[in-house]
Amino acid sequence: MGLFDVHAHLTDPRLAAQESDVLARAKERGVTTIISNGLNPDDNEAVAALARRSELVQPAFGLYPVDAVLPAMLAAGVDYPRDGEPCDPEAGVAWVAEHVSDCVAVGEIGLDRYWVPEPHWEAQEAVFRKLVAIALDADKPIIIHTRKAERRAFEVLQEMGAMRVDWHCFGGKLKLARRILEHGHYLSIPANARKSESFTRLLQTAPRDRLLLETDCPYLGPTRGELNEPANVRVTAEYAAELWDTDVRSVQSQVESNFERLFGFAP
């Protein structure tokens, strides 16, 4: 039986610099599958190369919702902390369309109204719809990032008939999370769940056959100031075992069958 991380960023320079150690620690703690999520064409290329190098890593190709409108945002003078040149959103969508058959999921994609101001919402949604259509056409699961736009993202996904969906690090209202899960989508619980009232509530009350594990590493670590990494999915599995009054093995067996149902292969 294996553990998995459905949402990692192993190509982040901070993790890439210690790639073999990070992967060795994950393996040591029982992690058998890490889905590394791409943010733009350059990052997708790096994810693809990493997946070729490591048997542990599976690629997800995406276009980060901020990258989907970043050139227009910057041209309009919006402040956004980012290194390097922004990609051309159309080229970003075309890249995913061209390579979709080589990934296990399309992600991360979604809507972000935290960083993106209202004049750019329509364009952002248009890109999101194109990416969802690509995933549906290729029959690939979708990994969603959304911030301050959970309700709208859910409307779009419902309207487009997307059913194979994982919501990464869901930050919306609990009531909406329940509707999303009842609809048949999945939520992946991050490694810092113990410190979060809403993820604790979700672990306690959500249908267990709809939950997955993620880290969003290098972000959102269980220990403040420490770099997060895929090995930490075990922290969430242990926390779930505590809340469900069971052992880590039963949590593993539950989330493993959830993974297999969504992604179509065993982790």
**Residues within window 215-254 making contact with Zn ion, judged by CB under 5 A:** 216
Question: Nearer Cβ to Zn ion, position 108 or 112?
Answer: 108
Question: Nearer Cβ to Zn ion, position 193 or 252?
Answer: 193
Question: Nearer Cβ to Zn ion, position 149 or 252?
Answer: 149
**Residues within window 85-114 making contact with Zn ion, judged by CB under 5 A:** 108
Question: Nearer Cβ to Zn ion, position 221 or 252?
Answer: 221
CA pair distance 109, 106, nearest whole angstrom: 7
Question: Nearer Cβ to Zn ion, position 4 or 252?
Answer: 4
**Measured from the CB of residue 216, what is the shortest distance to Zn ion in angstroms?**
5
CA pair distance 123, 3, nearest whole angstrom: 37
**Residues within window 105-164 making contact with Zn ion, judged by CB under 5 A:** 108
Stretch that binds Zn ion, among 73-81, 131-139, 212-220, 252-260 (CB under 5 A): 212-220
**Measured from the CB of residue 9, what is the shortest distance to Zn ion in angstroms?**
6
Q: How many residues bind Zn ion (CB under 5 A)?
A: 2
**Measured from the CB of residue 213, what is the shortest distance to Zn ion in angstroms?**
14
**Measured from the CB of residue 189, what is the shortest distance to Zn ion in angstroms?**
14
**Measured from the CB of residue 265, what is the shortest distance to Zn ion in angstroms?**
21
Question: Nearer Cβ to Zn ion, position 185 or 252?
Answer: 185
Concatenating the DSSP letter of every residue in the chain gives --EEEEEE-TTSHHHHTTHHHHHHHHHHTTEEEEEEEP-SHHHHHHHHHHHHH-TTEEEEE---TTTTTHHHHHHTT------SPPPPHHHHHHHHHHHGGG-SEEEEEEEETTTS-GGGHHHHHHHHHHHHHHHHHHT--EEEEEES-HHHHHHHHHHHT--SEEEET--S-HHHHHHHHHHT-EEEEPTTGGG-HHHHHHHHHS-GGGEEE---TTSS-SSTTSPP-GGGHHHHHHHHHHHTTS-HHHHHHHHHHHHHHHHSS--
**Measured from the CB of residue 7, what is the shortest distance to Zn ion in angstroms?**
6
**Measured from the CB of residue 61, what is the shortest distance to Zn ion in angstroms?**
13
Question: Nearer Cβ to Zn ion, position 235 or 252?
Answer: 235
CA pair distance 170, 190, nearest whole angstrom: 9
Applying CB under 5 A, the residues found at the interface with Zn ion are: 108, 216
